[in-house]
Amino acid sequence: MRGQPRILINTPDVELWPGGLLRARSNADARVLSRAGRVLRRKRDGRYLAAALPEGMLSLSPRWAHEPGIEAALDALDSLRTDRGFDIDASGELPLEQLIERLDSLGLDESYGEKVGLGLVPEPVALAFAGFDRYRRPLWLTAHAARAWEGMRRIAGSEGVVLEAISGYRSHHYQLGIFERKLARGQTVEQILTVNAAPGYSEHHSGNALDIGTPGEAPAEESFENTAAFAWLTANAEAFGFLMSYPRDNPHGIVYEPWHWYYAR
């Protein structure tokens, strides 16, 4: 497993991370992660559940073997061990049933998407490592988007323009977590929806969307449109397959986001 490309394997409840890309939270973690081929990480809160070491599975959390969705994660791990020809370009998408159940718990259904003109976005089964973002976090994209981003970033750099990734793939769990934290602080679902898209409706779930910045510029601010990076993207991004999703007066009612670009090929 050590010689495999750096790929994030996605299941509905658990992610399978390459050990070397996770942050150690203790000295004991550091020793384990340095040897782990894969680490099973709970999507809901990022907790490390177990590590696949050369000698076998090592528990990182009590009762990890009884976690929801652990069987699907272990099946995916077995497939990785036995299938040397894993094709990330044809890895498919996760089902949406679990997401629809959670939307229902928020009092939402697909009529929300109809109202804003957006469809539910499934998560990819696998994502490619696309370097690090501005904050030195691993950046995950679909394989096609990752190749396009690397090519675009390299060409921009050769022309004196620095493009930084602010964020890429985000899971349904990540978006649900935003809602759960705000609900716990006393906000209503209606209040949260004025600022955040409903879980499942963000282009970031697809692994094809990027928030892009440039050094010296605050992330995700309209002022990005005044930078050399934005001017370069406006002139060149489409050639690499990237389009700006939310221009001014877009039909979805989403605020102008000059930093948000989607790989559409």
User: Hey, where are the domains in the chain?
Assistant: 7-86, 97-263
Evaluate if residue 50 carries a pLDDT over 50: yes
Check if the beta carbon of residue 21 is closer than 8 Å to that of residue 129: yes
Return the CATH number of 97-263, one of 3.30.1380.10, 3.40.50.740, 2.40.10.220, 3.30.499.10.
3.30.1380.10
pLDDT value of residue 102: 87
Mean pLDDT, range 9-16, rounded to an integer = 96
Task: Report the mean per-residue pLDDT for the chain.
Answer: 93
pTM: 0.93
Residue 236 per-residue DSSP state: H
Q: What is the percent of the chain with per-residue pLDDT over 70, rounded to a whole number?
A: 97
Mean pLDDT, range 61-77, rounded to an integer = 96
How far is Cα 172 from Cα 189, in angstroms, rounded to an integer? 16
More confident residue, 141 or 265: 141
Give the neighbor-by-neighbor strand order of the sheet with 56-59: 56-59, 48-53, 38-42, 14-17, 7-10, 126-132, 138-141
Mean pLDDT, range 209-214, rounded to an integer = 98
More confident residue, 252 or 123: 123
Q: How many residues does this entry show for the chain?
A: 265
pLDDT band at 3 (very low <50, low <70, confident <90, very high): very low
Evaluate if residue 222 carries a pLDDT over 60: yes
Which pair of tokens denotes residue 226? 């005044």
Mean pLDDT, range 232-260, rounded to an integer = 94
**CA diameter of the chain:** 57
Q: Which residues, in sequence order, are CB contacts of 74 under 8 Å at separation 6+?
A: none
pLDDT value of residue 85: 62
Mean pLDDT, range 235-242, rounded to an integer = 98
Evaluate if residue 123 carries a pLDDT over 60: yes
CA dihedral of 2, 8, 9, 13, whole degrees rounded to 10: 130
pLDDT band at 1 (very low <50, low <70, confident <90, very high): very low
